[in-house]
Amino acid sequence: MSLWIEKYRPTEIKNFEGSDKLINFFKTTIKEKNLPNILLSGSAGTGKTTFAKLLANGLNDQNKFLVKEYNASNDRGITLIRNEIKNYSSMLRRTIIIL
């Protein structure tokens, strides 16, 4: 059984409700295939993870990016940074990490 939020999470940008600036950023990033370093912050339930997943899926249409997702509530501490995330920075593939 899945959580309600997972079941009804938007899977396409056209179903995502956000500011025009954020939607334009999404469309430009996908079109140009140029992902800058970004940090999304805000209150719980505002769409940060949904936006990150949509962006990762939109950019990864040709499997050029390595996409890794961690639950920051469960996977916390310096060990995760040292043992997992640091290794991705040495890979030749561009990496999207969702915490």
Residue 80 sits in a domain whose CATH number is: 3.40.50.300
Please tell me the predicted confidence (pLDDT) of residue 86. 72
Count of the separate structural domains present in the chain: 1
Helix (H) or strand (E) holding 96: strand 94-98
Tell me how far CA of residue 21 lies from CA of 26, 74, 84, in angstroms: 9, 32, 33
Q: Which residues contact 49 (CB under 8 A, 6 or more apart)?
A: 98
Phi, psi of 94 (to 5 degrees): -70, 145
Enclosing domain of residue 82: 4-98
Most confident stretch, 35-39, 61-65, 78-82, 85-89: 35-39
What pLDDT digit, counting tens, does each position of 20-77 carry?
A: 898 898 889 888 888 788 888 888 888 888 888 888 888 877 667 777 777 767 766 7
Higher pLDDT, residue 90 or 26: 26
Please tell me the predicted confidence (pLDDT) of residue 93. 67
Measured distance CA(36)–CA(12) in Å, rounded: 21
Phi, psi of 39 (to 5 degrees): -130, 120
